[in-house]
Amino acid sequence: MREETIRRIRAFTEDRDWDQFHTPANLAKSISIEANELLECFQWSDDVYDLEHVKEELADVVVYCQNMLDKLNLDVDEIVMKKMDKNEAKYPVEKAKGSAAKYDQLE
């Protein structure tokens, strides 16, 4: 995410004195709630949806994720790269390519 975007998210929270409400538990709940609102965009159809609504709900998820990163003093690149290392080990290309199977079901 661009630094300008991160600064804007942080300023929004700071200007409203909302950091006091941003406990890790509250942020995790908010991420889940917003992710479910994103899922609701696809409730009755996998391919007919309002793209503007999808973008709004996805943005809400991303904003709360940035707030969680800030609250826990985490670097998004660091944690994503570490998780990608684990995913690549669990899902080697030669076994997982073209398969939706869980890692313990790959042959």
Q: What is the pLDDT of residues 30-72, one digit of tens each?
A: 999 999 999 999 999 999 999 999 999 999 999 999 999 999 9
State pTM to two decimals: 0.92
- The domain spans of the chain are 1-74, 75-107
pLDDT recorded at residue 107: 84
pLDDT tens digits, 67-106: 999 999 999 999 999 999 999 999 999 999 999 999 999 9
Structure tokens at 85: 């290392």
Q: Is the pLDDT of residue 1 over 90?
A: yes
Which superfamily, per CATH, for 1-74? MazG-like (1.10.287.1080)
